[in-house]
Structure 1
């Protein structure tokens, strides 16, 4: 299978926790669809101290996984939003 493009899209979005609105990532997202997964290589800024846990309320918002051979975070439905 094809790996995601390293350079990827130029547009960046902020990913926030839905419960406490703390910033989680600044991410280079491609396309107009919903936020389902975040490839680690596309994360511009990471605001989390513990992997996949919100720094504000310590709630788990994603799970680590491999997608098309690349490390990624699979977002749990309704736990993170993008702005």
Structure 2
């Protein structure tokens, strides 16, 4: 399968923990659908201390995986919100 595009999308969204509303990432999201996965190369600011865990409440919000040959975080349903 094809890798994600190298050119980053224009739209940046903030990703928050659904439990404690702590800011987790600033992410360049393509499309208008739900947030299912985050490619690591599209994260512009990372506010987490350990990957896939909220720095405030320590809840796991994603799992590390490879999608189309690129490292990504696969989001767990209902654990994150974005604006």
TM-score by length of 2: 0.98
Q: Structure 1: 5+ residue runs without aligned partners?
A: none
Measured after TM superposition, the shift of residue 40 of structure 1 is: 0.2
Query: What per-residue deviation string (whole Å, max 9, x for no partner) do you get for residues 33-62 of structure 1?
Result: 000000000000000001100011000000
Instruction: Give the match's secondary structure for 1:41.
Output: helix
Show the counterpart of 2:67: 67
Q: Structure 2: 5+ residue runs without aligned partners?
A: none
* Cα RMSD (Å): 0.5
Q: Does 1:54 align with 2:62?
A: no
How far apart are the structure 2 equivalents of 1:7 and 1:44? 13
Show the counterpart of 2:31: 31
Q: Aligned residues, how many?
A: 83
